[in-house]
Structure 1
Amino acid sequence: MTTRTFPFSTLINKQTSVFPALDDADVILERRDAENLVLMRSERFQAMADGLSLAAKSLALIARTNRRLAEEVFAEELPWLVWLPVEARFECVSELLDHLLAGAETGLLLPFARALREWKSTAEVYSDPELARRLRGPFTTEDATDVPRPGGAGLG
């Protein structure tokens, strides 16, 4: 499916140029001071949701019967998994599968997207052994500076 992009103001001022685009594309409405919006026909949205639900349930079923195969499937699509310590890979795959299945059931995929972003960031840290070592600590406070509390003198 293709997408077409319009400024949000076009929807407000010239709806007749936005709605016909929905016949063969999803529409992204770009907003200056807020997150972009997506318009799509309900039939395409439902097809996407149904496909995602089926894929997530199928992958979860594979994971329950053959965890190693599920890890291989994820590793194929998420090559950055190799940067995680071996013991963390199972935890990552398990957590992502759980979030994906829950999201497919509820339509709430933001927790999955958040977990995916967090695990990828964690893997990126592990890809740099020096950075990973420094972030593990120990931490010293000898170079620390006291910073005044924002907005006033104190809690009282």
Structure 2
Amino acid sequence: MATRTFPFSTLINKQTSVFPALADADVVLERRDAENLVLMRSERFQAMLVGLSMAARSLAIVARANRTLAEETFAEELPWLVWLPAEARAECVRELLDHLLAGADTGLLLPFARALREWQATAEIHSDPELAQRLRGPFDTSESTPVTRPGADGA
């Protein structure tokens, strides 16, 4: 699908140049001090949700029937999975599939995107054995300051 990009101010000042673009493209409105916004026609949005839901459900069915195939499918799309320890790969695939399926049903894909970023960051840490070992500890706490747990003082 094609996208067209406009400054957000164009929507405010010259709507007539933004809305016609929606006929054959989604519109990204770039904002200086906030996240960009996306405008799309409702029928395209609904088609995307239906397609995503069907693809997520299909992949979940395959995963339940053949976990190895699901892992191979994800590995094709997510080559960084090889950096995860073997026991974490299955957990990663299971968690990502669960989030994707829930997101496809609800339209809330931020938890999936967050989990994807978190797993990729974890894999990148494992790709550097020295960094992974340092993060496992033990940690030098000689210069640390004890902190009480919030609410531990009865307040």
Q: CA RMSD in A?
A: 1.3
Runs of 4+ with deviation above 4 angstroms:
143-146
CA–CA separation in structure 2 for the residues paired with 1:78 and 1:35: 26
Q: Describe how 1:68-79 pairs up with structure 2 within 5 A.
A: 68-79=68-79
Q: Secondary structure at the match of 2:34?
A: coil
Offset of residue 142 of structure 1? 2.6
> Share of identical aligned residues, percent?
82
Q: Secondary structure at the match of 1:33?
A: coil
Q: Hey, what's the Cα distance between the residues in 1 that align with 2:53 and 2:105? A: 6
Query: What secondary structure is seen at the aligned counterpart in 2 of 1:117?
Result: helix
Length-normalised TM-score, structure 2: 0.92
Unaligned runs of 5+ in 2: 147-154
- List alignment gaps of at least 5 residues for structure 1: 147-155
Q: Secondary structure at the match of 1:61?
A: helix
Matched, 1:115 2:115: yes
Deviation (angstroms), 1:71: 0.5
The alignment partner of 2:4 has SS state of strand
Aligned residue number for residue 101 of structure 2: 101
In the alignment, residue 123 of structure 2 is paired with which amino acid? A
**Alpha-carbon offset, residue 107 of structure 1:** 0.6
In the alignment of these two chains, the number of paired residues is 147
Aligned pairs for 1:1-156 within 5 A: 1-144=1-144
How far did residue 118 of structure 1 move? 0.2
**How much has 1:141 moved relative to structure 2?**
1.8
Residue identity matched to 1:131? L
CA distance in 2, matches of 1:30, 1:37: 7
In 2, the alpha carbon distance for the partners of 1:102 and 1:19 equals: 32
